[in-house]
Chain A
Amino acid sequence: MQFLAAAWEQIYGLLVEDGQIAIGTLAAFIACAAVSAAAGRVGDAALQVSLRNSAGPLLFVLLMTLLLVNLYTTGRKALAKRSRVG
């Protein structure tokens, strides 16, 4: 039973170590999926393709922003913790 719990923890830990990163990654993906889906409702074919293709660079920008914001808050937390410890 303990082994199964450790295995589950390992599998879960494979993907989720920091909740903000995991949820943020999914949210970024959903936002880009929404852009891609919205492109399908645009009448102009050229605009449709251009809007759909913008989902790729958008995904990149959202994820890199998420990474920077997460690391910034982690750094601030580390600094605050060190101040408390002395």
Chain B
Amino acid sequence: MSASLFTLVVAALPAFLASVVEWVEAFTIVLAVGNTRGWRSPIWGVVGALTTLAVIVGVFGTPLIVYQDEVKQSFHIVVGILLLLFGMRWLRKAILRFAGIIALHDEELIYQREVAELREQGKTVERWDNIGFWFSYKAVLLEGLEVAFIVIALGAQGGIALQAAVFGALAAFVVVVIAGSLLHKPLAFVPENFMKFVVGAMLTTFGIFWGAEGLLVDWAAGDGTLLFILGGVLLTSFVAVRMLAQIAPQGARVATRNI
């Protein structure tokens, strides 16, 4: 595999998929705000949140890349551990959702809840709506923090990885905004759980690979080992879903949303 294609797969693809999931969640809230209280303030809220996220990526991402060579080993360990913590969390959640143990993310339901909450706040009569601004700012910033984390972690391999990860996240933003503008309703058709599962499996794979490299492990198959690890993670996930189906066959009806 050529270096640029490898970087694209390793950095841009998971950044894109993870970002679609997060931007869809943020879009639902911004849509609820815009439809309930007007669009001017929420759009400024989105702009403010994106600016804050760009600052976060710049402040934390730049030094990691500039000093990467000096602290390569510790750096691999830190990035590996962070990716593992993040990836295992998403993988676990997606498997529990596949098995029906926890409920799937329902964008329509979330939209209705947000609209109801915003209507309780009363109608806005001013040109500038503080509630509308802060609702959308918070939604985009909080969901975007996950995007920023993934972009920094995946981009921290150096080279063009950061650009690839940033490009993946921005492309996801553009896709979600275009789809949302055209449809003007929550993007409930996006297979969020499947995408979350794929990202979780990929981040866990990269976390194991880089984390072990930080421990001075020399993988026998080089970068090709990533495929073997990914295969193992997918196989384990399949076994886990089958196991849960045996343990709790009617999982979704269990009131265990916060497991």
Interface residues of A (CB under 8 A from B): 3, 6-7, 10-11, 14-18, 21-22, 25-26, 29, 32-33, 36, 49, 52-53, 55-56, 59-60, 63-64, 66-68, 70-72, 74-79, 81-82, 85
Contact = CB atoms under 8 A, between A and B. Distances in A.
Interface residues of B, number: 53
B248 A29 contact: no
Interface stretch (B35-43, B121-129, B137-145, B173-181): B137-145
A7 B247 contact: no
B232 A64 contact: yes
Contact of A55 (B209, B212, B220, B244): B212
A3 B82 CA distance: 24
Contact of B217 (A10, A52, A72): A52
A74 B86 CA distance: 19
Given A74-B96, A75-B248, A18 B217 contact: no
A55 B86 CA distance: 21
Interface of B: 77, 80-82, 84-86, 88-89, 91-93, 95-96, 99, 101, 134, 138, 141-142, 145-146, 149, 204, 208-209, 211-212, 215-220, 225, 229, 232-233, 236-237, 239-240, 243-244, 247-248, 250-251, 253-256, 259
Given A10-B145, A68-B236, A36 B215 contact: yes
Nearest to B235: A64
Nearest to A40: B216
B256 A11 contact: no
